[in-house]
Amino acid sequence: MIRTLIVIPTYNEVGNLPGILHRVHNATGETDVLIVDDSSPDGTGALADQLASVDPRIHVLHRAQKDGLGGAYRAGFAWGLARDYDRLVEMDADGSHDPAHLPALLEALDDADVAVGSRWIDGGRAEGWPLHRRLLSRGGSAYARLMLGITQRDVTGGFRAYRADALREIDPTHLVSQGYSFQIEMLWRAANAGHRIIEVPITFVERLHGTSKMSSTIVTEALARVTRWGLARPLIRQILTFIGVGAIGLAVDVITFNLLRATILSPEAVPGGALAAKVISVTLAIVANWLGNRYWTFAEQRRSDVGREAVDFLLASALGGLASLVTLGVSHYALGLHTAIADNISANVIGLALGSAVRFITYREWVFAG
């Protein structure tokens, strides 16, 4: 028989606990539940003990003080793995995770190691959530996906099921997150370990009683951790450094041009000096860009043949410039958009972005592929 444990962390959930346990057992029958309570001042722990004393399916783990969602799950999973459960589930106590989704989540484990209850795939949604929570959740998922390369849509949700062997391999005891970033860290680890992850659509509803424990500290922790983890990934670090080097190159170009025009190549001293000033400033900017990318962005993959690398760098940079020109040509001539704003958007916004993408890819895959 497959043994399942549902881990429910609680902090001040006295109004929600009896209802959620009743609904969990209605949905799953004999499934065991572990309540991990952090000495809730409202008496949730005592109520949990009382419910456990009359129902052998209910277990309680008391922790001395409030120590975050991540800490509660780490303790709960360790408790379940030590008792050889086959499948472990995480879910909120407040009714926002509908126990009616439990059978689908558990069934998904027939074909996967991790089943993620997802609000942001077809068929899933969040009901009654204020706009700021919706934006925070979607924005957080998008940022984590971008920084960490996670492919799932709902990265922050806390309604998931794990096969015990996968959970053992992920080894939550080594996770560092205290708050909600625990969810992101778990998913990232599972994906990195090559576990099969399936998203199952869920409807998330606003909690029935009490208040959310979401705080600015929790958001800051998640943001800081995802940024730190992301920056440790070579691709993200390279993209950010490439942008930094590009900005320095632009500054060199603008500052040099204006300095020359104000001094030795002023309009009074040299009537046709603007062109010469631009040639010098652009040349210096290209050299700054090359050195910055050679010794900083792509330092670990720079070539030993410096001359060849410099020539290829010039060619790749010209290709990037060409992308901007082609964008301008398409909008100005093919689409007939002749206003100054349209020219500026196509050349300096879309063209610049496209040109930068072309340059980044060609630098990474060809110029500095030493």
Q: Which residues bind ligand GDD (CB under 6 A)?
A: 9-11, 13, 36-38, 66-69, 72, 92-94, 96, 137, 156-158, 180, 183, 207, 212-214
Whether residue 226 contacts residue 148, with contact meaning beta carbons closer than 8 Å, is answered with yes
The position carrying tokens 């509660």 is 72
**244's tokens:** 């930094």
Give the whole-angstrom CA distance, residue 278 versus residue 117: 57
β-pairing verdict for 32-37 and 4-10:
parallel
Question: 157 vs 249, which CB is nearer to ligand GDD?
Answer: 157
CB 284 within 8 A of CB 264: no
Task: Output the smallest distance, CB 108 to ligand GDD, in A.
Answer: 18
Q: What end-to-end distance do the CA atoms of the chain give, in Å? A: 56
Q: How far is the CB of 256 from ligand GDD (least distance, A)?
A: 49
Give whichever of 136 and 326 is closer to ligand GDD, judged by the CB atom. 136
- In the complex with ligand GDD, the residue whose CB is nearer, 9 or 292, is 9
Strands of the sheet with 32-37, listed across from one edge: 58-62, 32-37, 4-10, 87-90, 160-163, 114-118, 197-201
Residue number with CB closer to ligand GDD (137 or 256): 137
Residue 127 has φ and ψ, to the nearest 5°, of -105, 140
| Min separation Cβ 262 and ligand GDD, Å | 54
CB of 68 to ligand GDD, least distance (A): 4
Q: Toward ligand GDD, which CB reaches closer, 182 or 242?
A: 182
Task: Give the shortest CB-6-to-ligand GDD separation in angstroms.
Answer: 12
Q: Are strands 160-163 and 114-118 parallel, antiparallel or unpaired?
A: antiparallel
Distance CA 272, CA 260 (A): 12
- Give the ranges where the chain is alpha helix by DSSP (H): 17-28, 44-54, 68-82, 102-108, 131-148, 164-170, 181-192, 216-231, 234-262, 273-292, 306-329, 340-344, 351-362
Between 10 and 327, CB nearer to ligand GDD: 10
The least distance separating ligand GDD from the CB of residue 152, rounded to whole angstroms, comes to: 13
Reported as type and span, the H/E element at residue 66 is none
Closer to ligand GDD by CB, 68 or 351: give it: 68
- Minimum CB–partner distance for residue 53 and ligand GDD (Å): 20
**Residue pointed to by tokens 């320095």:** 248
Q: For the CB of residue 47, give the shortest distance to ligand GDD in the complex, in Å.
A: 13
**Between 187 and 358, whose beta carbon lies closer to ligand GDD?**
187
Q: Residue with CB nearest ligand GDD?
A: 158
Query: Which residue type sits at 55?
Result: D
Burial class (CB in 10 A: 0-12, 13-18, 19+), 225: buried
Q: Considering beta carbons, is residue 96 or 331 the nearer one to ligand GDD?
A: 96
Instruction: Report the nearest approach of ligand GDD to the CB of residue 223 (Å).
Output: 13
